[in-house]
Chains A and B, each alone.
Chain A
Amino acid sequence: MKDAIHKVKQTCYHCGEDCAKTVIKLQDKVFCCDGCKLVYEILNQSELCAYYDMNAHPGLTQKIKVRTNKFSFLDDEKIAQKLIQYTDGKQTHVTFYLPQMHCSSCLWLLENLHKINAGVISSRVNFNTKEAFIVFDNDKTTLRKVVETLTAIGYEPHISLHDIGGVKTNHYNKTRLYKMGIAGFCFVNIMMMSLPEYFAVDESMQLDIGTVFKYITLVLSIPVLLYCASEFFISAWKGLKNKYLNIDAPIALAIAITFGRSLYEFFIVGGNMYLDSMSGIVFFMLIGRWAQEKTQQSLSFDRDFKSFFPIAVNVKTDNGFMPAPIEQIGENDIIEIYNNELIPADAIISKGKAVIDYSFVTGESVLITKEVGEIVYAGGKQCAEKLELLVVKKSSQSYLTNLWNKDVFKEEKKESFFIHALSNYFTVIVFIISGIAAAYWLWQGQTQTMWDVLTTVLIIACPCALLLSSTFTNGNVLRILSKNKLYLRHPDVIQQMAEADHIVFDKTGTLTQGNKLKVSYEGVALNAGQQKLVASLLAQSNHPLSQSVLQYLDIADLYEVKDFKNHTGSGIEGWINETYIKVGNATFVGIVQEREKQSGSAVFVKIENEVLGRYNVKGVYRLGFAQLMAELQTKYHVSILSGDNDAEAATLEKVIGPNCEMLFHQSPEDKLAYIKYLQDVKKRKVVMVGDGLNDAGALKQSNVGIALAEQKNNFTPASDGIMEASVFANFNKFMQYANSGKRIIIFSFIISIIYNIIGLFFAVQGMLAPVIAAILMPASSISIILVTYGLSEWRARSFRLTMP
């Protein structure tokens, strides 16, 4: 049995990853790393192994270890206070964001936290927002210990400056549901109470029943007007104050006129009321809004650099290193930075050797080595030993932060004008029609009919059906897109996507897969012994090229290297078992390389005095990349921006064709400037697809900025949408679907105009019976909802999108 297991691919019991190189065994279980084993041991001790029974391999890999004192800053009262929601000295309430949460095992484990840490009184998970609400006993445990317990079992809470500084937004809008419930209730009951009115039951009945019912409808309509419809009035008023007729203005106007006219009828004339129409408008509009807002609750589209920074670092004081909040760090402070941590401020290295990954800021994936005395910039990630840095600029004034303070990040994005323009024209036309009709009746000398006609026309012709069609179409499109792993922050983004004519891609990390590099060997075949020599030498270097070739070779038990030398930017050399080996670029091993042959990066191998061959390392383009580019170029202008060098320009051009503009060596500012140039000079509507913080400016500047993430809960820069990398090849379909969305809105707009013409035909003649109004209004709303829903589902199917 055991042999059989060995032959099968061994996967980690905890995280399910291949245990290719190192296998750690415990009893009959196999683990990929010590971290995973440790988690298992903790769970085993607390008798929580049911965690593994519910789902196979529920854990996440623990290869990257969290250093022991990482959370010592939580002992600091001031920092802790900002995280804690409530405390009475005995019990403390706190909510953590745990992005690792993904299955029912996670849920179960996190709610059984008290078995691991006895100080936890209760923990309750909200799966949709990926939050855990924890109550703990101050006498038995501390905030730091709770966080450390969570970290120990593989759920390290995401604690960032963003959570601390800003106000936490409640993703979930309960008020909207209350309003919908009440509006629906009032609408249905008002319609029922209006039955005698609709069928104009004979005079006597109308007198007693009808009058009582009218009082009831009036009472029922008041909460609709004052509570349910309040948001339309508030928003319309805000718009008017800024001298701006927004989308809610015509709705608010229609509601106000309908109610006023009904009051007038009730108290003065004793005629028909339109309260059913009014509450119907409110009810359907609220449903539409709700459908639009129902996107992913756990996603955050507004992350800025603050979410990426740690909230505290160790600062040197008279009593040694003590944790301090980032904002308190000033010039000339000495701070400690550990492996895999971000540098929070521009600083000079005072101790240790820096190997920094700036890909976060620049998009360039090559590690940069810095020695003592050199300057390092905020946003870089240390990839080696512990560093001591002398801060030269406060975190808030660093280069990275300055990028964020650029004007683009302060401007609010403009609303989509398409629906807006339509509804504005529409409102104007309605005013003209009602004006003409009123003038006609005035000229006839019938003032009473004039008032009737004027208000009825406004009630009937309110552009609610149009607004309904756009809210419902957008809501459904958003829902279908998010099922297909493109999450948009706002329905307006769909319109912006439909109007776009230029698409800009970032290269590294967007067109190519994040950390994956393709390695191939060319030259004299190396035997196993030689490969082992090369691997041993490469293991000494943490350059990404060395690491990817090493991974490709996949050799365990390496030799010891003597006289190892690292020549930054060219290669490495060393002696192994009396053999001299050199690995590096062409000039380093001493050969002349023709330019055109260099696609991607090449690593040459020289053993003793002979150059044996080279490893070609290329970024791996995402699946379906070539086809996507071909599809997009039939409809859009396409550009590619890259922070990297132009080594791959030729390969790219072969795949994409000559019409695509490609720019290399682009800094974050260059990218931003390019987008601006397209918008201002070429008058293009730009969609930008990027991934890193280095694209943040460009994403913000473009009409639609879409951040690509390997997983939706990964941290992405501020954007209008988040797209999962796995669906990258479908991007063109999404763009086309957004286009269909726009067409569906236009189509349903035409239907609503037809309804309006029928209604107006009766209204201008002053003969609109309440029964016609009562049928026409909900009929138009419901049929438009059905049409938009049906059409958007049908279009999604014809694009072969995944249906919810």
Chain B
Amino acid sequence: MSIIIITALVSLFIAIFFLGGLIWSVKDGQYEDDYSPANRILFDNETSTKTSKK
């Protein structure tokens, strides 16, 4: 029966991995501005390559 404990723990760690992903994306400011990145990607490469990250 201890196999259940192991699988449960594995699933818990996978979930922690995704939680980490969420926290990372929030920290990175992905939810701060939902307009600019969507439009920024449409600009020509030649003109947008120089905009550096903050």
CB within 8 Å of B: which residues of A? 50, 104, 107-108, 111-112, 114, 121-129, 133, 172, 174, 177-178, 181-182, 185, 188-189, 192-193, 205, 208-209, 212-213, 216
Q: Which B residues between 1 and 39 are near A, CB-CB below 8 angstroms? A: 1-2, 4-5, 8-9, 11-12, 15-16, 19, 22-23, 26-27, 31-36, 39
- In the complex, which residue of chain B has the Cβ closest to the Cβ of A114? B50
- Residue of A104, A123, A128, A129 near B51 (CB, 8 A) is A123
Q: Are A128 and B54 in contact, with the CB atoms below 8 A?
A: no
State in angstroms the CA–CA spacing of A108 and B54 once bound together.
16
B35: chain A residues at CB < 8 Å are 107, 127-128
Of the residues A114, A172, A182, A193, contact of B8 by C-beta under 8 Å: A193
**B15 and A185 contact, CB distance less than 8 A:** yes
CB distance from B1 to the nearest CB of A (A): 6
A178–B9 CA distance with the chains assembled, in angstroms:
23
User: 0/1 per residue, B34-54, Cβ < 8 Å to A?
Assistant: 111001101110011011111
Closest-by-CB residue of A relative to B5 is A212
Tell me which of B1, B42, B52, B53 contacts A121 (CB under 8 A).
Answer: B52
- A111 in contact with B32 given A189-B12, A208-B2 (CB within 8 Å): no
Residues of A within 8 A of B11 (CB): 192
Q: What are 20 A-to-B residue pairs whose CB atoms are below 8 Å?
A: A104-B39, A107-B35, A107-B39, A108-B39, A108-B43, A108-B47, A112-B50, A124-B54, A125-B33, A127-B35, A128-B35, A133-B54, A174-B27, A177-B31, A181-B19, A182-B19, A185-B19, A208-B1, A216-B9, A216-B12
Q: Is the CB of B22 within 8 A of A181?
A: yes
A182→B15 CA distance, assembly (Å): 11
In the A-B complex, list the 4 residue pairs whose CB atoms are closest, starting with the nearest: A127-B35, A104-B39, A122-B52, A127-B36
CB distance from A227 to the nearest CB of B (A): 12
Q: Are A125 and B36 in contact (CB under 8 A)?
A: yes
Count of A-B contacts with CB under 8 A? 79
Q: Chain B: which residue is nearest A182 at the CB level?
A: B19
By a CB distance below 8 angstroms, the chain A residues around B2 are 208
Q: Is B23's CB under 8 angstroms from A192's CB?
A: no
Distance of A223 from chain B, by nearest CB (Å): 10
Question: B9 contacts which chain A residues (CB < 8 A)?
Answer: 216
Please determine whether A104 and B1 come into contact, CB atoms closer than 8 angstroms.
no
Residue of B nearest to A133 (CB): B54
On chain B, the residues within 8 Å of A193 by CB distance are: 8
B residues within 8 Å of A by Cβ? 1-2, 4-5, 8-9, 11-12, 15-16, 19, 22-23, 26-27, 31-36, 39-40, 42-44, 47-48, 50-54
CA distance A172 to B28 in the complex (A): 13
With A121-B52, A193-B8, A209-B1 already in contact, the answer to whether A126 and B47 are too (CB < 8 A) is: no
Contacts of A128 in B (CB 8 A): 32-35
With a 10 A CB-CB cut-off, give which of B22, B44, B53 has the most chain A CB atoms: B22
| A129 to chain B: closest residue by CB | B33
The answer for the CA separation of A386 and B31 in the assembled complex, in Å, is 47
Q: Do residues B26 and A178 form an inter-chain contact, with CB atoms below 8 A?
A: yes
Residues of A within 8 A of B5 (CB): 208-209, 212-213
| Chain A residues within an 8 Å CB radius of B50 | 112, 114, 122
Q: What would 8 more interface pairs be, CB under 8 Å, given A125-B36, A126-B33?
A: A50-B44, A50-B47, A111-B40, A127-B39, A177-B31, A182-B19, A182-B23, A213-B8
Q: Could you tell me the distance in whole angstroms from the C-beta of A338 to the nearest C-beta in chain B?
A: 35
Closest B residue by C-beta to A216: B12
Contact B26 A181 (CB under 8 A): yes
Question: When A104-B39, A127-B35, A205-B1 are in contact, do A174 and B52 touch as well, CB less than 8 Å?
Answer: no
State A112–B46 Cα separation when bound (angstroms).
11
Residues of A close to B54: CB separation below 8 A: 122, 124, 133
Q: Which residues of B contact A208 (CB under 8 A)?
A: 1-2, 5
Contacts of B42 in A (CB 8 A): 104
B51 to chain A, nearest CB (A): 5
Q: How far in angstroms is the closest Cβ of chain A from B33?
A: 5
Residues of B within 8 A of A114 (CB): 50
Per the bound structure, the CA–CA distance linking A121 and B51 in Å amounts to: 9
Q: Bound complex: CA of A209 vs CA of B27, how far in Å?
A: 36
Within 8 Å CB of B39, what residues of A? 104, 107-108, 127
State how many angstroms separate the Cβ of A384 from the closest Cβ of chain B.
41
| Shortest beta-carbon distance from A249 to chain B in Å | 29
Judge whether A181 and B47 touch: CB under 8 Å.
Answer: no
CA A189 to CA B9, docked complex, whole Å: 10
Do B8 and A107 have beta carbons less than 8 Å apart?
A: no
C-alpha gap A192/B10 in the complex (Å): 13
Chain A residues with CB below 8 A from B31, complex form? 172, 177
A785 to chain B, nearest CB (A): 21
Measured CA separation A121–B53 after assembly (Å): 11
In the bound complex, how far is the Cα of B30 from the Cα of A107, in angstroms?
17
Q: How far is the CA of A123 from the CA of B36 in the complex (A)?
A: 13
Nearest B residue to A127, CB-CB: B35
Q: How far is the CA of A182 from the CA of B44 in the complex (A)?
A: 39
Chain B nearest Cβ from A127, distance in angstroms: 4
**Contact present for B36 and A107 (CB under 8 Å):** yes
Complex alpha-carbon distance, A259 and B4, angstroms: 27
User: Are A181 and B8 within 8 A (Cβ)?
Assistant: no
In the complex, chain B residues whose CB is within 8 Å of the CB of A104: 39, 42
Q: How far is the CB of B29 from chain A (nearest CB, A)?
A: 8
Q: Which residues of the other chain, B, contact A50 by a CB distance below 8 angstroms?
A: 44, 47
Closest to A93 in B: B54
Nearest-CB residue, chain B, relative to A48: B47
Q: Is the CB of A177 within 8 A of B44?
A: no
Q: A104-B42, A107-B40 are in contact. Are A112 and B26 (CB under 8 A)?
A: no
Partner of A181, one of B23, B36, B51: B23
In the bound assembly, the distance between CA atoms of A123 and B53 in angstroms comes to 9
